[in-house]
Amino acid sequence: MCVVADSRDLIALERTKEYKGLYHVLGGLISPMDGIGPELLQISSLIKRVDHNEINEVILALTPSVEGETTSLYLARLLKPFTKVTRIAYGLPVGSELEYADDVTLTRALEGRRAIE
């Protein structure tokens, strides 16, 4: 199951034609500064879906922002007792120049490196 913040993210992932499973739309991200707590998102229904169905993996496809990171950590803590929890890789966009990338993006790109096959 792939978890996204909103329907636009779901559409973006569908365009890739790479993921062929279920989706769950949270309806936003946890953002205390904006008054959005976990209780305002579709988190309890996600936990129920994962608990009542045989979900082998939950892929967190959330924006690499403070809110996305907060939401990912919160969800991972709740979901780990039920299933494997992963998240999409972060890194450099195709066609971008390395010299213009920020430190966080470069760090994530290095952490998410893979062997060349």
Mean pLDDT score, 68-81: 95
Percent of the chain with pLDDT over 70: 99
**pLDDT, position 107:** 86
- Tell me the C-alpha to C-alpha distance, in Å, between residue 10 and each of 1, 13, 108, 110, 115: 12, 5, 22, 26, 28
In this predicted model, what pLDDT tens digit does every residue of 22-70 receive, in sequence order? 999 999 999 999 999 999 999 999 999 999 998 999 999 998 889 999 9
**Reported pTM:** 0.86
Domain covering 2-89 in this structure, CATH number: 3.40.1360.10
Q: Which residue has the higher pLDDT, 96 or 50?
A: 50
Residue ranges of domains in the chain: 2-89
Side-chain-facing half-sphere of 45: CA atoms under 13 Å: 9
* Per-residue pLDDT, 75: 97
Supply the DSSP string of 54-109, one letter for each residue. Answer: T--EEEE---SSHHHHHHHHHHHHHHTTTSEEEE----PPTT--GGGS-HHHHHHH
